[in-house]
Amino acid sequence: MIVFVRHGETVPNREGRLLGWVDAPLTEVGRRQAEQLAARLRDLAPAAVVSSPLGRARETAAPIAAAVGGEVEIDDRLIEIDYGEWDGRPLVELPSDVVARWRRDADFAPPGGESLRRVGGRVAGFCEERLGRDGVVVAVSHVSPIKAAVCWTLGVGDQLAWRMRLDVASITRIAAGPVLLSFNENVL
């Protein structure tokens, strides 16, 4: 099973800004969420705790790994979508026709960024490699890669990600098959 964990709260997430490769640290609330995630996941005794290379994911993964006596393994495939020139901007400030195109077309990429299809491809590779191989794997990542994992699991198009809400510090579980066991479990 892969237990996907979305990182804890950051200021840009709280403000509704696109937060891709520009990194932001966890807030105090985000650090408490990471501790709560560690307490909740401890009993799963994961064989591995894997994280996106971004600091907010590593900050979330560290207490989880410490709770199970392990180390954090970094996997670049878990990094957030690259929003390119739009990184840090509020989604609501983008022109509505551009957002509509983005929602329809999985190959659409923000200027200097990457498409949902590209994110889906790298996350599918991670899932295919790790699912069922190591027992329970905790994968600390971001909104777009976790939604991509759900799309891969369900065998649906990448653009379906726009119809999902995934909160910070939430848990999504995928079992071998692949089968979606849970989505957007909240720790609070």
Query: Measured in whole angstroms, how far is the alpha carbon of residue 34 from the centre of its chain?
Result: 14
CA distances from 53 to 22, 49, 75, 76, 144 (A): 12, 13, 7, 6, 15
- Using a 10 angstrom Cβ sphere, with 0-12 exposed, 13-18 middle and 19 or more buried, the burial of residue 59 is buried
7 classed as catalytic: yes
- Helical ranges in the chain per DSSP H: 11-14, 28-41, 55-67, 96-104, 116-130, 143-154
Cis peptide bond upstream of 25, omega within 30: no
Please, what is the end-to-end C-alpha distance for the chain in angstroms?
A: 23
From the candidates 7, 9, 59, 114, give the one annotated as an active-site residue: 7
From the candidates 9, 80, 114, 142, give the one annotated as an active-site residue: 80
Q: Report helix, strand and coil shares of the chain as percent, to nearest 5.
A: 45, 20, 35
Separation of alpha carbons 175 and 182, rounded Å: 10
Residue 114, by phi and psi: left (phi above 0), alpha (psi -120 to 50) or beta?
Answer: beta
85 classed as catalytic: no
Please give the positions annotated as active site: 7, 80
